[in-house]
């Protein structure tokens, strides 16, 4: 293949482009994985700027190898090596790091950081900044591999973040956030309230789908009518929609991708109640109009908002919050009138509906591989953790029955 040349016949290097307006541009990728551009009116000036950029990069590398680089420098280097991250995942990582780490702790020299510094910083975030333990865990999952990269590059001898979360849990008296499923009574109360509410009834098909399939919210939003086999009552999960802030476009965008893990591509049997919910949604849209959203060339999405567009996770979580608040207020009044204890719903996110389905499934199914397949878990350990929690109550019931039947003492 012939090399590209400018109008004067000079061969252009990789990344260099001659524009129709007579200017030259050099394109490169920065450590954050973002596309950047250098412009010049002539090729000589452009290549001088390229040399300055290369020198700056080499100077930074010298600082790194000398052990004088900041945590920020190493994180940027770490994230630039993660070439196979989805755009939404990369954006989330960078947002979390920039929001919590870059402005203060990230400016420290990486070679000076000790284990106690990391623990102290984590405790500061928990107690002074009042962040949730789950958020701290997300920060740790970025800092630990950042330090690990410096270890592998022989910049530091040990990873100062290793074991820090366990120490924080011990000192703070907290455990890593364990998601608790809704009880059967809470689940029924939530769904009955929606079904009988003149305000929230239109949410019934979506929440029935989530509680009847265990799908992640991104998978539910990405569900298309073509993914539904009503005749055989099967659901194919093969895509997920993520909403994230694009660093290049500086706005929130939606993107269609494969599910979170390879195991996420799966088929799920359609429960009768899920079948009814999807048919109800189909009938409603036949009367009022189907979802017209097009994302990455794909359309025909099942669930939609009142404007005929796709939903997003934040909107679903906001709806759950409103429903729970209104239900609890009405339940307290009704319970007082009926002279009984109210059945109060906890505040929860849409992910708890997935966890609730998993718990109900574990209560009825003993084959862990079946559960793992339906849930789309990559690791069997995740399935086992849910199974262990779900069967604790069953074990207690078994021993209560045993105490009645085993009358030998």
2 inside domain: no
**CA distance to 47, 96, 97, 138, per residue, from 176 (Å):** 52, 18, 20, 11
Instruction: Give exposure, 338-347, as e/b (b: 16+ Cβ within 10 Å).
Output: eeeeebebee
The residues pairing with 26 across neighbouring beta strands, listed in sequence order, are: 16, 38
pLDDT digits (tens, 9 = 90+) for 291-346: 888 988 889 999 998 888 889 888 999 999 999 999 999 999 999 999 999 999 99
| CATH for 269 | 1.10.443.10
Place of tokens 């679903």: 316
407 inside domain: no
Range of the domain at 25: 16-65
Q: According to the model, what pLDDT value does residue 179 have?
A: 63
Q: Work out the widest C-alpha separation in the chain, in whole angstroms.
A: 101
Domain C-terminal end among 145, 172, 199 = 172
Does 251 have pLDDT greater than 80? no
pLDDT digits (tens, 9 = 90+) for 349-400: 999 999 999 888 888 888 888 888 888 888 787 778 777 777 766 666 666 6
8 inside domain: no
Q: Are 350 and 179 in contact (CB under 8 A)?
A: no
- The total domain count for the chain is 3
6 inside domain: no
- Mark whether 61 and 76 lie in a shared domain: no
- Mark whether 61 and 109 lie in a shared domain: no
**Least confident residue range of 63-67, 214-218, 227-231:** 63-67
Q: According to the model, what pLDDT value does residue 389 have?
A: 72
Does 57 have pLDDT greater than 70? no
Q: Are 397 and 250 in contact (CB under 8 A)?
A: no
5 inside domain: no
- Mark whether 246 and 328 lie in a shared domain: yes
């Amino acid at each position: 293949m012939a090399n590209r040349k400018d109008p004067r016949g000079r061969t252009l290097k990789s990344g260099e482009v001659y524009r129709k307006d007579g200017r030259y541009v050099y394109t490169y990728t920065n450590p954050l994985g973002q596309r950047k551009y250098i412009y010049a009116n002539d090729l000589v000036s452009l290549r001088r700027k390229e040399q300055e950029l290369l020198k700056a990069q080499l100077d930074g590398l010298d600082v790194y190898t000398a052990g004088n680089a900041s945590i920020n420098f190493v994180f940027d280097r770490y994230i630039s090596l993660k070439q196979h991250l989805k755009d939404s995942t990369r954006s989330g990582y960078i947002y979390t790091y920039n929001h919590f780490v870059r402005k203060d702790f990230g400016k420290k020299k990486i070679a000076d950081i000790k284990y106690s510094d990391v623990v102290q910083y984590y405790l500061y975030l928990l107690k002074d900044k009042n962040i949730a333990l789950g958020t701290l865990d997300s920060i740790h999952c970025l800092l630990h591999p950042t330090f690990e990269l410096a270890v592998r590059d022989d910049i530091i001898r040990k990873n100062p973040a290793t074991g820090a979360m366990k120490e924080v849990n011990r000192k703070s008296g907290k455990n890593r956030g364990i998601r608790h499923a809704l009880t059967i009574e809470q689940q029924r109360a939530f769904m009955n309230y929606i079904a009988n509410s003149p305000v929230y009834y239109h949410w019934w098909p979506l929440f029935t789908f989530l509680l009847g399939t265990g799908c992640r919210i991104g998978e539910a939003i990405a569900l298309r009518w073509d993914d539904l086999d009503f005749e055989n009552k099967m659901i194919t999960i093969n895509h997920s929609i993520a909403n994230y802030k694009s660093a290049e476009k500086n706005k929130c965008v939606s993107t269609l991708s494969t599910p979170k893990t390879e195991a996420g591509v799966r088929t799920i049997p359609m429960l009768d109640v899920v079948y009814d919910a999807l048919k109800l949604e189909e009938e409603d849209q036949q009367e009022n109009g189907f979802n017209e959203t097009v994302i990455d060339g794909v359309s025909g999405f099942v669930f939609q908002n009142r404007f005929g567009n796709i939903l997003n996770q934040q909107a679903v979580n906001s709806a759950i919050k409103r429903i729970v608040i209104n239900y609890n207020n009405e339940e307290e009044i009704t319970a007082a009138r009926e002279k009984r204890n109210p059945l109060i719903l906890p505040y929860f996110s849409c992910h708890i509906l997935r966890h609730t389905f998993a718990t109900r499934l574990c209560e009825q199914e003993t084959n862990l591989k079946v559960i793992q397949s339906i849930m789309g878990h990559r690791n069997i350990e995740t399935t086992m953790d849910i199974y262990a929690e779900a069967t604790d109550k069953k074990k207690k019931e078994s021993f209560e029955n045993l105490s009645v039947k085993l009358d030998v003492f």
